Amino acid sequence: MFALDDLSLVMSTKSWRLEVLLCITLICRYYYQPKETLCSVEKIALSLESTTGEKLCSVEDCNQGTGVYQRHGYIYSSLAGYVMRKNEGEELPVISVVRETEALLLPDVGAIVTCKVTGINSRFAKVHILYVGSTPLKDRFRGTIRKEDVRESEKDKVDIYKSFRPGDIVLAKVISLGDVQSTYLLTTAENELGVVVAHSEAGAQMIPISWREMQCPQTNAKEFRKVARVQPEYLEA
């Protein structure tokens, strides 16, 4: 089995299925760590690189974030990196400068992400994105899994309430940025994608018994889910 700290294997392979497996091993690390307040990210924009001491904008145009400082009514970069403007619901966007390695951690189309379901309705499930690949995100980005993106076949028969529940941990793939609020659109329409951790009404972590059901080990009660299937050959170290 993979060790939780063994990231080198994933970084050296082109098989995203191995990356999916490591995501699953990292889920428990997230699930039992203290939860931070989830930030509401409305819009993010990355611009060209800045240099240390470069004037970025007036304090009347943006609020100060990380990697910047104020002087004489202007905001300057305190390090070399990418300029990031982020609207968190405030009147003014927050401007920050992040290093290249941090900027590359933003979810991108085609990326495999680990997320937590925060709400569901008949049309879609809302999630917070926690990991891109095997790397945890500093910010929690919002995502949506629409009814038509839950599975590949019989899309008209998909029932969101039988696919996800709030609190589920899900592996998904980014398919687009979506609407003007920059909510990422995600899909679980592949065998290896879907719910990987779910708890029953009794509070026990359930066991997958098929691609559409999980079972509580305490009560033996079954619940519907869109279950992720990890191929057995990828469970060997």
Main-chain dihedrals φ then ψ at residue 133, nearest 5 degrees: 65, -125
Q: What is the mean pLDDT of residues 197-223?
A: 93
51: pLDDT strictly greater than 50:
yes
Over the stretch 12-32, which tens digit does the pLDDT of each residue have? 334 444 455 455 545 544 444
CA distance 205 to 219: 11
CA distance 25 to 38: 22
pLDDT at 93: 84
Encoding tokens for residue 230?
A: 């990890």
Q: Which amino acid would we find at residue 209? A: I
What is the percent of the chain where pLDDT is above 90? 39
Higher pLDDT, 178 or 215: 215
What is the percent of the chain where pLDDT is above 70? 68
Q: How confident is the model at residue 200 (pLDDT cuts 50, 70, 90)?
A: very high
Q: How confident is the model at residue 177 (pLDDT cuts 50, 70, 90)?
A: confident
Q: What is the mean pLDDT of residues 43-47?
A: 45
Higher pLDDT, 82 or 26: 82
180: pLDDT strictly greater than 90:
no
234: pLDDT strictly greater than 50:
no
pLDDT at 194: 94
Range with the poorest average pLDDT among 9-13, 65-69, 111-115, 119-123? 9-13
In contact, 228 and 171? CB cutoff 8 Å: yes
pLDDT at 198: 94
Over the stretch 153-165, which tens digit does the pLDDT of each residue have? 888 889 999 999 9
Burial 74-92 (b: 16+ CB within 10 A, else e): ebbbeeebbbbbbbbeeee
Whole-model pTM over 0.75: no
**Shortest CA distance to 45 belongs to which of 106, 91, 127?**
106
In contact, 124 and 137? CB cutoff 8 Å: no
228: pLDDT strictly greater than 50:
yes
